[in-house]
Structures are given as structure tokens and as C-alpha cells.
A and B are shown apart, each in its own frame.
Chain A
């Protein structure tokens, strides 16, 4: 398995080495690579297949949440596992030894299977159903996983960043330090997102949520572009939670016009009103659903495409083609930086739009 860091180092190396003198080197590298991965296979075709399987495994591993924080190949630290299974069980994820061994806690045995904790016996047996899913019991899992850990780190970072930026305004009107960078963004969210969509009268009480969600998604998307292998916004549970909060705030702040437009649409014939009510009711849930899917799918697709292109370098295994993929990765990374900001903007924008529709005051039709 190759980490992003070692891949990029290999790429930088590839850029500086001339092709003909290193042809031999390359062959040697390929051989040793294949050997250490699967010693038993000899055929070239099977080697190619193994590399592809390995790349797929790497991508899947990167996209899924995990119980330890891997910085680079071989450098990782365990995170606490918190299970609720006949009482609270707290232990370090190092007990799993990266999923290779059974963790024993107070006479109960747990095992990792595809990054999920299952209850098992002392030998770690899992009974599989016909779809190869374990049928063992799954304890309630409140673990500080990699994603939870990153959210906590980002929350603390954002707290101090914005507290520092806000402090400067107590003594004067000029922003200092990080505030110089953040002020235009905050004003942009206020003047271009909140006020036009929610309206001068109501926008203030939603500003805290809009700013939080904007900077959280943006910073998390950017963190996903670091070689640490963080994929927080590309995880459907997290986008689901964000969309759920937006949904709840919208429904709570809905005024009587908002509810009337859902259940008894004014200005349409009476026969149509029940039909419209059903459509509007479906629309109520489709809106947060599309928020959730959009952010999740965009970030997931970005990560998969980037890692697949890095993986292609190993599929072709040629010094001639690798620089082209390096360039492609670079360009796509830049595009991903744009997407990171764009998705944060769109999420905030649509959230503000939904809040606006909830608090809008209509002149009667």
C-alpha cells in the first residue's frame, strides 16, 4: 500500500530523472514492488491485476473512516474506541492492531471487519451471510474515529482563529492578523448570501449558523486536500448531520405563510390544492436530501478521481507516462481547491435560500 506522500515523492523524483538512464531502475523497482506485494504470482498479467486490486483497496481505505490516525505509511497513532455494550467500554484502538487481532475488554471480545466493530468470541470468528456480511452483533459505537478526531481538531482551530479575529474589533474597527483575511469572507457571506436570500429584517439570527457551516465545510474540504488522508465532508453521515440541522432550523423558523404554501397553496384551484400539498411535502424532504448528496458526492468523486489518476501511474508503471499523470493530478488538485470553496458556498447559499423561504413575509395574492 502506498501513501499519498510517498507517491508524490516518487512523482517529484520521476520529474527530475531522465528516462533512458533509469529504465533499468524502473524495472527493478517494479519487480521489488510486485514481489513484496504478492510473492507467489509470476505472470505479468496477474501482477497488473494485483496492482489494480491494491489501488482499489487503497482508495477504499482512504475513503472510509478508521479507528486510528495514519499520517503516512507506518506512522500512525491509535484513537480511543468507545462502545456501549452492557455498560460503557473504553479502550485504545491499538488493541485491534490495525484490525489484525481480537480486542478483549472486560471478558468481551471485539474484532474489526471492514472498519466496523463486531462482537465476537476469543478466536475472532465471524459468521457470514450469503452476501459476505457478518451477522455478529454490533455494539453501539461512539468511538473517537479519525473523522470525529478531525472535527474536534478543526472545531478548536476555528474557535481560536475566529476568537482572535473578533478580539481586534473590541479596540478598534481595523481587523488584525487572521481577521484581515477573514473579514472580507465574513462580509461576503453576510452581504452576498444572507441578506439577499433571507432579507434585511431576519438575517441576523441566522448569521452564526451560516458562517459556521460555510467555514466548517470549506476548511474541512481543504483539509481533505492535504496528504493526511482526511475525508470528512466526503462521508455521508457528516453531510447528513449538516443537512439535518439546516432542515430543523428551516422548519422551526417557518412562519404561517410558509406552512400555508405547503399545505394549502394560495392562488391555485381547490382541486389542485391537495395535489400541491403532497408535492410540496415531498419537496420539504428532497431539499435537505439534495444538500446532503451534493456535498457528499462532490467530495467523494473528487477524492476518487484524484487517487485513481495517481493509481494509474502504478498501472502503467512507465517513466514516460508518469509525468503526464503528475501534471493531471496537479491540475485536478487545483480544480479541487476551487470545488472546495464552491461547495461550501453552494451549501451556505441554499441553506440561506431555505431559511429565506421560511421567514419570507408575503403580500397577499
Chain B
């Protein structure tokens, strides 16, 4: 049985979503604990999220 491409796209989105969600959640907790370090945490969060997003897009576009 052939699995349609869209299933793979869905799996990618689930994976990337979980990853970015975890990063965002952890960053929220970290900011709540240490509000004075908000800027640094945000930067680190954005970089990590961008890296995951990059992999997600690469997987989506490479069929």
C-alpha cells in the first residue's frame, strides 16, 4: 500500500511543532524564573526554534 506524501508532511509538522513547543514552553518557564535574563533567553530560544524550523522546511520541500 502506498502512503500518500501528505502523511509525511503531517508527521514533519507534528515533529517540528513538538520541538518548537517545547523550546517555547521552556523559555517561558525560564523567563518566569529569571525575568532579568529575558533578552538572553529570547535570543537562545529564537535560534533554537529557527534551527528546528529550518529542518522542518527542508523536509517539507524535499519530497
| A-B pairs under 8 A by CB, number | 36
Q: Is B60 an interface residue (CB 8 A)?
A: yes
Q: Which of A192, A293, A345 contacts B39 (CB 8 A)?
A: A192
Contact B57 A353 (CB under 8 A): no
**Neighbouring B residues of A345 by C-beta, 8 Å:** 46
Which residues of A from 50 to 97 have beta carbons under 8 Å from B?
Answer: none
Measured CA separation A289–B46 after assembly (Å): 18
Which residues of B from 1 to 57 have beta carbons under 8 Å from A?
Answer: 39, 43, 46-47, 50-51, 53-55, 57
Interface string of A331-357 (1 = CB under 8 A from B): 000000000001001100110010000
Q: Is A294 an interface residue (CB 8 A)?
A: yes
Q: Which of A196, A294, A349 contacts B54 (CB 8 A)?
A: A294
Measured CA separation A298–B16 after assembly (Å): 14
Question: What interface size band does chain B fall in?
Answer: 10 to 19
Q: Which of A196, A297, A346 contacts B57 (CB 8 A)?
A: A297
Measured CA separation A342–B53 after assembly (Å): 13
6 A-B interface contacts by CB (under 8 A): A290-B55, A294-B53, A294-B57, A342-B46, A349-B43, A353-B47
Show the binding face of B for A, using Cβ within 8 Å.
39, 43, 46-47, 50-51, 53-55, 57-58, 60-61
Listed from nearest, the 9 A-B pairs whose CB atoms lie closest are: A297-B57, A290-B54, A294-B54, A346-B50, A293-B58, A293-B57, A293-B54, A297-B61, A346-B46
